[in-house]
Amino acid sequence: MRIGLLCPYDLSQPGGVQEQVKGLRAALRGYDDEVVILAPGAGDDDDTVDLGGTVSVPGNLSKVPISLDPTVGRRIKAATAGLDLVHVHEPLMPMASLMALRCDRPVVATFHAATSPLGTRLYRLLGPRIRSLLGPNLRRVTAVSPTAAAPVSDSLPVSIVPNGLDVAAFTRDGQPSALRVCFLGRDEPRKGLDVLLAAWADVAAEIPDAELIAMGANRGSEGVQWLGRVGERTKVDTLSSSAIYVAPHLGRESFGIVLVEAMAAGAAVVASDLEAFRYVAGDAALYFPPGDSKALAERLTSLLRGEDERRRLRAAGRERAQRFDWERVAGHYRSVYQQALS
């Protein structure tokens, strides 16, 4: 198949959708498919079509780098003319995704995000009109989790195809450091870093030799090893050397690929009790109420002292991570593509 993967976000900037699009391209090539990424900030290599610059706008309690150029549709139309199918990620995101929905090719649309309560109400008020917004060439709709599907599932048939990961790339030999805990995430309120730091004060008082490593953030405060933004190798090495990975997010999460990364790397997972996190980790994690630093401290203290429970969670996590391996996820998407083309 000749497939175009449309990403509305700046491909040169870090982000979950961007990484999923890149990973899907690599996985589809294993089937000898011809795959091109269309995205703003895509650069000029042979496998991408650059849709121009972006601006950062508020979105989902964060900042999202998207194109607001109304002429981007012309570039998309030219780039998709020879393709069999266009897979549009975040289909209602301006302007690239909205323009790609109108290209003269069969379209598969994938929803990634967890919407706000207001956003969910707006989707439901639109009701059947969502179908017309997604354009005349729409053939199939997928979402990365039940949380991402919820806003549109009353109006459209939605297949769940989860996010993918090269699980083998996160596997390391050896045992993790028994008292090492790590965090990975941008320093944004919804990622819950403040909750973790409040909990860590209690953990450190109970277990002075415990260590906390924070990736993706750098506040420079004492008692934490701050790594800031890290490369892939440092991320994998840190996850695999940690006894516990903590996801203290407050909400608005639709999946949680970092939980899959941590499980694949062999870290025991402690996570906020969010629907999306339970979908990903199931019984391979311990949960605590979002925002409850005291409950988080209790989970961490107990798990740092509980080698048997850590061993159980590590084994369960590695097994569960296999569900999200790219080989399985890409095969599922190819089945969706074939249905769309038929």
pLDDT in tens, the chain (342 residues): 999 999 999 999 989 999 999 999 999 999 999 999 999 999 877 799 999 999 988 866 678 899 999 899 999 999 999 999 999 999 999 999 999 999 999 999 999 999 877 777 788 788 778 988 899 999 999 999 999 999 999 889 999 999 999 999 999 888 899 999 999 999 999 999 999 999 999 999 999 999 999 999 999 889 999 999 999 999 999 999 999 999 999 999 999 999 999 999 999 999 999 999 999 999 999 999 999 999 999 999 999 999 999 999 999 999 999 999 999 999 999 999 999 999
Query: What is the predicted pLDDT for the residue at 52?
Result: 95
Q: Pairing state of beta strands 85-89 and 2-6?
A: parallel
CA torsion through residues 144, 146, 151, 155, sign: positive
- The pLDDT value recorded for residue 217 is 96
Residue 125: what pLDDT? Answer: 81
For residues 259 and 247, the answer to whether their CB atoms sit within 8 Å is yes
Beta-strand pair 2-6/159-160 = unpaired
CA distance 26 to 5: 11
Based on its alpha-carbon atoms, the radius of gyration of the chain, rounded to whole angstroms, reads: 21
| Residue owning tokens 């194109």 | 67
Residue 120 confidence (pLDDT): 78
Which residue pairs, CB below 8 angstroms and at least 24 apart, start in 98-105? 99/72, 99/73, 100/6, 100/38, 100/76, 101/133, 101/134, 101/135, 101/137, 101/138, 102/73, 102/135, 102/137, 103/76, 103/77, 103/137, 104/77, 104/80, 104/137, 105/4, 105/80, 105/137
Round to whole Å and give the CA distance between 3 and 255: 25
- pTM to 2 decimals? 0.94
> What pLDDT does 310 receive?
98
Read off the tokens for 33.
């498919």
User: CA torsion sign, 50 to 140 to 258 to 221?
Assistant: positive
Choose among 223, 197, 228: nearest CA to 211.
223
Q: In sequence order, what are the beta bridge partners of 59?
A: 62
* Residue 81: CB atoms within 10 Å: 10
Which pLDDT value is given to residue 301?
98
Closest CA to 6 of 32, 33, 40, 34: 40
